[in-house]
Structure 1
Amino acid sequence: MNIEHYLTERHQGTHRQIMRLLRQGRVTLNGAVIVAGHTQVDSTDQVQVDGAAVTGRQPQYLLVNKPMGVTIDLNPTVAHSVGSLLNVLDQQRQLGAVADLPKEVMGVVVLSDDHRFLDDVRQIAWPSTLTTRLTGTAVPAELANAAWDQVQTTVNQRQKYVTVTVRTQDVARALPALVALPNATGSVTRTSLGPLQLPGDLPIGTYRGMRAAEIDAVVAPLDADVTES
């Protein structure tokens, strides 16, 4: 079979991920780097990804709904950290994070033990979408701020609050500006990181594996020149 099918059968990632592994020179066949998805492999060949045999490489891609007051620290012994939210199996993995979310902000965080994937996401530098609520139905007269490049408001007349949604490249800078808005509740949530949306059915303080479409979407800009096979 060809190397793309070989890696797919061994759960090394989505089709796009596997083509990216090849393009990035991360796959070796009998010690030689291979980049073509149609390269043939048989049962006697030694295939490695990032220097590890594929039988021992099962990368994890996790989507966390981080609570407020929880740090991005992945050490499970640190109280009020993302690491303390993980189950025992995931605590043993060498996970990293796209760690730009202050403890005061809750919402979507990406974890993985595929550190090249994390580097790719950082390289793309997706903007974050942040939301906060203001008590009452009065929309502040001036919402323009250098900390964000887009802002929208939605008024809930029935429950008497205003939702402010901004897009920013600098969460740490946007946070104090949002908290300082008139009648702000102090609660700020990252509802998306680029195309990656915080699932409505993922409770605060929980996590799940990223779906193939989510993994592909978050690194899609780097796949523009990848030839499909």
Structure 2
Amino acid sequence: MNIERYLTEHHQGTPGQIFRLLRQGRVKVNDRLIDSPRETVDTSDQVTVDGLAVTGRRPQYLVFNKPVGVQTDLTPVVPHSLGSMLNALDQQQSLQILADLPRTIAGLTLVTDDNTFLTEVQGQTWPSTLRVQLTGTTPLTLPQNIAAEVVEQRPDQVHQWTMLTLQTTALDSVTAWLESLSRVSGAINRIGWGPIKLSPDLAVGTYRGLFPQEIDALLTPATTSSLEK
């Protein structure tokens, strides 16, 4: 069979990912660099990706719904950390943080054991989508020195609060500004990072694997937005 089919059957990624593995010179057959998806292999060949034998184990791409107070430490024995939330199998992998959050912020955090993917995606400068509850129904006006865009302000006249959703590529400064507001009445949640959205059915304190289309979307170059101008 050809190398593309071989890598697909051994769970090395989507067709787009496998094409990138070959293009980036990360695939070898019997220590020979392979860059063509049409190269043929058989069961006696030694196939490696990034120097590791292809065994059928999938690379890990995980999305967490991080609770407030949980630190982004992937060491399993550290209490109140992402590592303590991993199952026994995932605890054995060499995972790294892809989208970090401070302890005081909840929501979407990504981790992976694919170092090249990590480097590629971090270079995209994807914006974070934040959601926070404010007291009162008066619309919030962003100061000119805040690098963020309001996505939605949804007032609730019954409960006298406003649900604010905004986007920013300056996560630290914008969350610090939000935390300084007297109107903030709940946790600041990151509900999106670039093309990845936090699904409502992913409970706080749990995680899941990224879907193939989500992985490909993260590797698609981001278009320039007003946040980046």
Does the TM-score normalized on the shorter chain lie above 0.5?
A: yes
Listed as ranges, the matches of 1:100-179 within 5 Å are 100-140=100-140, 142-152=141-151, 153-179=153-179
Aligned to 1:214: 214
Task: Give the SS at the match of 1:71.
Answer: coil
Distance 2:150 2:165 in 1: 6
Distance 1:158 1:17 in 2: 49
Aligned length: 221
Distance 2:130 2:147 in 1: 10
Distance 1:217 1:99 in 2: 15
The two structures have a TM-score, normalised by structure 1, of 0.91
Task: Give the SS at the match of 1:88.
Answer: coil
Distance 1:28 1:147 in 2: 48
Distance 1:182 1:51 in 2: 53
Task: Give the SS at the match of 2:188.
Answer: strand
Distance 1:109 1:56 in 2: 26
Contact 2:63–2:110 (CA under 8 A) maintained in structure 1: yes
Question: Do the aligned partners of residues 211 and 108 (structure 1) sit closer, same or farther apart at CA in structure 2, a change above 3 Å counting?
Answer: same
Distance 1:174 1:138 in 2: 20
Distance 1:136 1:149 in 2: 21
Distance 2:159 2:86 in 1: 35
Task: Give the SS at the match of 1:175.
Answer: helix
Aligned to 1:68: 68
Following superposition, the deviation at residue 100 of structure 1 comes to 2.6
| 1:20-46 deviation per Cα after TM superposition (whole angstroms, max 9, x unaligned) | 111111101111111111111122222
Contact 2:10–2:56 (CA under 8 A) maintained in structure 1: no
Following superposition, the deviation at residue 182 of structure 1 comes to 4.0
Task: Give the SS at the match of 1:124.
Answer: coil
Contact 2:72–2:82 (CA under 8 A) maintained in structure 1: yes
Q: Which amino acid aligns with 2:80?
A: H
Following superposition, the deviation at residue 221 of structure 1 comes to 2.0
Task: Give the SS at the match of 1:203.
Answer: coil
Aligned to 2:227: none
Distance 2:60 2:16 in 1: 16
Contact 1:8–1:18 (CA under 8 A) maintained in structure 2: yes
Percent identity (aligned): 47
Listed as ranges, the matches of 1:189-208 within 5 Å are 189-208=189-208
| 1:31-71 deviation per Cα after TM superposition (whole angstroms, max 9, x unaligned) | 11111111111222221101011016431111100011111
Distance 2:19 2:115 in 1: 17
> How much is the aligned-residue C-alpha RMSD, in angstroms?
1.6
Distance 2:132 2:144 in 1: 15
Task: Give the SS at the match of 1:126.
Answer: coil
Distance 2:10 2:61 in 1: 16
Residue segments in structure 2 that go unaligned for 5+ positions in a row: 223-229
Does the alignment pair 1:181 with 2:203?
Answer: no
Aligned to 1:227: none
The two structures have a TM-score, normalised by structure 2, of 0.91
Q: Which amino acid aligns with 1:173?
A: S
Distance 1:200 1:148 in 2: 27
